Chain A
Amino acid sequence: MAIAIERPRIAARRVKRYRVHRALGHVLTYLGLFAALVFFLGPFFWIVTTSLKGNEDFFAFPPVWIPAEPSLAHYVALFTRSSGARYFTNSLVISSLSMVAALVVSLPTAYSIARWRFGGGFLSTLLLVLRMLPAIALIIPIYIMYKMLGLTNSYLGLVIIYTVLYIPFAVWLLVGFLRDFPVEIEEAAMIDGCSRLRALVQVVVPIIAPGMAVVALFAFIATWNEFLFAIVLTGIETKTMMVLVTSFTTGGTDMFYGEASASVVLGVLPAFAVAFMLQRYLVKGLALGGTKG
């Protein structure tokens, strides 16, 4: 009898201990994640607050972490004094053009691979080769060729190289989306007298538009982030945001903190937007170098 009375009590104690353990586990889990968030997002926080500080805040002690009177003066200075507006526009224009061009060129190729298995394993091999190929190996001949053709310091030159570098990745993602697309819908359109190209543009494209948006966003961010080709191939008029930043590094580590931080804020803006929009595809995209250009 005693045992029978004891049991529920022991069981209750166990349940309680289990609950305490679990609660403790939860607390530790979230503490750990909080520490990770501080480490990985802290620099962004500091850069944003720094870009809003007044010049006297840099010298203050104790240091000013959050400016009492946030000002946009550094952004104004960046846009006027350092021609930031021009370079920001350059980045936008080059990234947008490359994004559109990569999509236009890649879509028919992806279609050809998805519907007719064009090229067999060619695409996956090409992807792998490009994934491993160091950009430094390509920039040397490209620079010499562009010099001869007069393509350095031009939008066209950068857009061409970015588009082509992005084709394999875009094709690979698009093939995945096209394979999920039922062939029957296209065939129905073609029986009704539609040409294949028209079926692709008017029937397939509207339906796989969300997939194309994913490819486009990745292409945009990869181009936006690209540095090696940008620094070698751009001149004073065609610099991108990535190249502009290098101009702040000349004064040792004590440079123009205000303008430099403002340019970093503008430079990472697309990454923030895209990280949330593309969450489902991040692993695939990053593994294949989708953001590296």
Chain B
Amino acid sequence: MRIGAIVMKRKQWEPFAFASPSVFLIGLVIVFPLAYSFYLSFQNFDLSVGSEYNYVGGKNYVEALFKDERFLGSIWNTAMIIAPSLAVELLLGLGIALLLSRASRGRPVITALLAIPAMVSPVMAAMAWRMMFGIKFGAINNLGRQLGILDVYFDWFGSPLLAIMTVVLVDVWHNTPFMMLVLLAGIQSIPQELYDAAKADGATPWRSFWSITLPLLQFTMVVGVMIRLIDLTKLFGLIFILTYGGPGSSTETVAFNTYLVGFKDFRMSYAAALSYVIVGGVLVLTLVFLWIQRIRETRTAA
């Protein structure tokens, strides 16, 4: 031990030397580009016009927040996708987690099988479902036709509302497994003695669920929902494959809209400004998340 302490004292540079490759790379590939992008958001850099640009002040931000109806619409679309997705993912995830916690046999295997969609890329999930929803050859229209309840040519992306519901369904399929895993871990950390005591006092399983499981699971649920919420604000790959923002621009999310501005219109400065508006929004959400976690820590400490 003592020798270790001496070695440590002599070699003050070692901790930094060991960490320096990572620190250097993160600075170069993440911190510097972000700063550069912030600088760009105050210019009028437009690759479709040319590579020269000037300082324009906060013009891009004013346009994004007050004039750009397509971007403001994409904020609305994102919210319209987020709200039902979160609600269904939470309820369905909770339901399946409860079932899993009651399953005495085969739980690890079933859990692993149910977790698979969460490991799949959003692009692949969207592609599989895009084909399932296919008008002529899709599994859903085929099944509906076989059962005699659907027309073969039913278009699941036909109207804005329908398209949003379809996107929500695919996101539910893709991400409920995550919610399920988080909630299952939460349920399994509740001590069994609480249930035994409640049972001895004559509580029905229904009553124990409302008085023990739900209250003790509250914070796990909040954390799960916050993580999903932050992820959903980045919804991109799913939209790209499933609807490409359509019909019209009814399923364009903020991330997808920014992508179009940056890599279809090549308005780099404006896209940078949009991305910083998104960062600001997500930052607020993250602070709320941290605030909730702090409450949790103080409560568990008390």
A interface list, Cβ under 8 A from B = 25-26, 29-30, 32-33, 36-37, 39-41, 43-44, 46-47, 50, 58-59, 61-63, 105-106, 108-109, 111-113, 115-116, 118-119, 126, 128, 130-145, 160-161, 163-165, 167-168, 171, 183, 187, 190-191, 196, 221, 224-228, 231-232, 242, 245-246, 248-249, 252-255, 257, 260-261, 263-264, 267-268, 271-272, 274-276, 279, 282-283, 286-287, 289, 291-292
Whether B137 lies near A131 (C-beta < 8 A) is: no
Whether A33 lies near B103 (C-beta < 8 A) is: yes
CA distance A196 to B15 in the complex (A): 11
CA distance A272 to B117 in the complex (A): 9
B interface list, Cβ under 8 A from A = 1, 3-4, 7-8, 11, 14-16, 18-19, 21-23, 25-26, 28-30, 33-34, 36-37, 40, 95-96, 99-100, 102-104, 108, 110-124, 127-139, 142-143, 145-146, 155, 157, 173, 176-178, 181-182, 185, 223, 227, 230-231, 233-234, 236-237, 240-241, 244, 255, 258-259, 262-263, 268, 271-272, 275-276, 278-279, 282-283, 285-286, 290
Whether B21 lies near A63 (C-beta < 8 A) is: no
How many A-B pairs fall under 8 Å by CB?
279
Residue of B nearest to A227 (CB): B237
CA distance A30 to B25 in the complex (A): 50
Whether A253 lies near B157 (C-beta < 8 A) is: yes
CA distance A41 to B268 in the complex (A): 41
19 contacts between A and B (CB under 8 A): A30-B103, A33-B96, A105-B21, A116-B14, A128-B290, A133-B282, A136-B236, A142-B33, A144-B36, A164-B26, A191-B3, A226-B121, A227-B122, A245-B123, A260-B127, A263-B127, A271-B116, A271-B119, A286-B181
Instruction: Point out the residues of chain B lying under 8 angstroms from A263, CB to CB.
Output: 127
Whether A171 lies near B112 (C-beta < 8 A) is: no
Q: Identify which of B244, B259, B283, B285 gathers the most chain A CB atoms within 10 Å of its CB.
A: B259
Whether A190 lies near B7 (C-beta < 8 A) is: yes
Kindly list the 10 A-B residue pairs having the minimum CB-CB distance in the complex, ordered from nearest: A225-B121, A141-B33, A112-B18, A271-B119, A63-B142, A141-B37, A137-B275, A116-B15, A109-B22, A108-B18
Instruction: Point out the residues of chain B lying under 8 angstroms from A140, CB to CB.
Output: 37, 40, 262, 268, 271-272, 275
Q: Which of A63, A221, A224 contacts B143 (CB 8 A)?
A: A63
Min CB gap B147→A, angstroms: 10
Whether A62 lies near B18 (C-beta < 8 A) is: no
Instruction: Point out the residues of chain A lying under 8 angstroms from B259, CB to CB.
Output: 136, 139, 228
Min CB gap B257→A, angstroms: 9
Min CB gap B3→A, angstroms: 6
Min CB gap A177→B, angstroms: 16
Whether A279 lies near B278 (C-beta < 8 A) is: no
Min CB gap B95→A, angstroms: 7
CA distance A161 to B96 in the complex (A): 37
Interface contacts beyond A135-B234, A140-B268, A253-B157: sample of 12 additional A-B pairs, CB < 8 Å, sorted by A: A44-B128, A119-B19, A138-B30, A161-B29, A190-B7, A196-B7, A196-B11, A225-B123, A228-B259, A248-B127, A267-B123, A267-B124
